[in-house]
Amino acid sequence: MKKIEGRYLSEISDLITDLGKSGYLLINYSDKPKAFDNFVVYFSNDKETLKIIRDRQQFILAGNKEELESYGLWKAFDSMAEFRKALIAWINKRK
């Protein structure tokens, strides 16, 4: 697998580690267009792909509203720590 590099990946290193422990690998990253420090990262566990967006310093998980809403994930998070906690809880409940 090729090494993925990006100027904001260090800011989500704990998320990358936590998702790795849950079987998800970072498969793609983009910070284009370069505006407002936005980026998109994709993780996959071979069964599904997660798309995580940082838009204007807020973190968002793209997905099905009905599923994400019941886990408190159908919103933008101002804190990476809160987002990571909610995301990992959602993943663990689905195992």
Q: 13-66 pLDDT, tens per residue? A: 899 999 999 999 999 999 887 777 889 999 999 899 999 999 999 999 999 999
The pLDDT value given to residue 4: 65
Residue 2 has pLDDT above 70, yes or no: no
**Of the candidates 14, 44, 12, 45, which has an alpha carbon nearest to the alpha carbon of residue 28?**
44
| Higher pLDDT, residue 3 or 70 | 70
**Does any domain span residue 54?**
yes
Number of domains in the chain: 1
Calpha distance 38→48 (Å, rounded): 23
Nearest CA to 53 among 21, 85, 76?
76
- 2 located within any domain: no
At residue 76 the predicted structure's pLDDT band, cuts being 50, 70 and 90, is very high
Q: Which domain holds residue 37?
A: 9-89
pTM, two decimal places = 0.89
Assess contact for 45 and 25: CB atoms under 8 A.
Answer: yes
Q: Is residue 13 part of a domain?
A: yes
